[in-house]
Amino acid sequence: MSRAAIRYAKAVLDQANEANISEIVFDDMKSVQATIAGSKELRTVLQSPVINGDDKKQALLSIFKGNSEITKSLIQILTSNKRIGLLSGVASSYINLYNEGKGVKLGHVTTAVPLSADLEKQVLAKVKEMTGSDLVTLENKVDESIIGGFILRVGDLQYNASIANQLGNLKREFSKSL
């Protein structure tokens, strides 16, 4: 995350807190982040030096027309400052700052397949065991190389329950006994 994105996110959070709509802006930022992450074309447009700022601004304002005035204001400020490429980073930073303020931790879970409801319950139980808190938002990353199970990271704590890790442990045990 760039320092500029974090500064913009702090300013947006302060503004949202003053207006008492930080939760609405939180939902906006999740929407902005998901939309940009889900659209390669939009990411290309935002990073393109060929497309002028006003066109980018109009496109974004029409995409996010249902969002709060603070979010629309952020888009306008980033465009006028020629920093619109930071929008996704600002959204991520806002989400992190909002969660920190609410005491919600972010857990990164890596699985071989997308997280099922049953596996999510297991992971949340492990998070509660590790941190003593059940205020956790899970971010899922799929990595087929772990074969099965999951790898969980919350802050600086890590729990590796992947099949690949267990196979590696078995391999080390066999090589020790030879």
pTM beyond cutoff 0.85: no
Taking 70 as the threshold, does the pLDDT of residue 93 lie above it? yes
Taking 80 as the threshold, does the pLDDT of residue 1 lie above it? no
Percent of the chain past pLDDT 90, that is, above it, reads: 56
Q: Can you tell me the distance from the alpha carbon of 62 to that of 81, in angstroms, rounded to the nearest whole number? A: 20
- Residue ranges per domain, the chain? 3-101, 104-177
Q: Give the count of beta carbons closer than 10 Å to the beta carbon of residue 18.
A: 10
**pLDDT 10s digits, 101-139:** 888 888 889 988 888 888 888 888 888 888 887 788 888
Q: Write the CB contacts of 3 (distance below 8 Å, at least 6 apart in sequence).
A: none
Tell me what pLDDT residue 121 has: 86
Kindly report the three-state secondary structure assignment for every residue of the chain.
Answer: CCHHHHHHHHHHHHHHHHCCCHHHHHHHHHHHHHHHHHCHHHHHHHHCCCCCHHHHHHHHHHHCCCCCHHHHHHHHHHHHCCCHHHHHHHHHHHHHHHHHHHCCEEEEEEECCCCCHHHHHHHHHHHHHHHCCCCEEEEEEECHHHCCEEEEEECCEEEEEEHHHHHHHHHHHHHHHC
| Mean pLDDT to the nearest integer, 78-87 | 94
| Mean pLDDT to the nearest integer, 88-96 | 93
User: What CATH number has the domain spanning 3-101?
Assistant: 1.10.520.20
Q: Which two tokens stand for residue 8?
A: 């913009």
Q: Give the count of beta carbons closer than 10 Å to the beta carbon of residue 163.
A: 13
**pLDDT 10s digits, 10-47:** 999 999 999 999 999 999 999 999 999 999 999 999 99
Which is more confidently placed, 153 or 1? 153
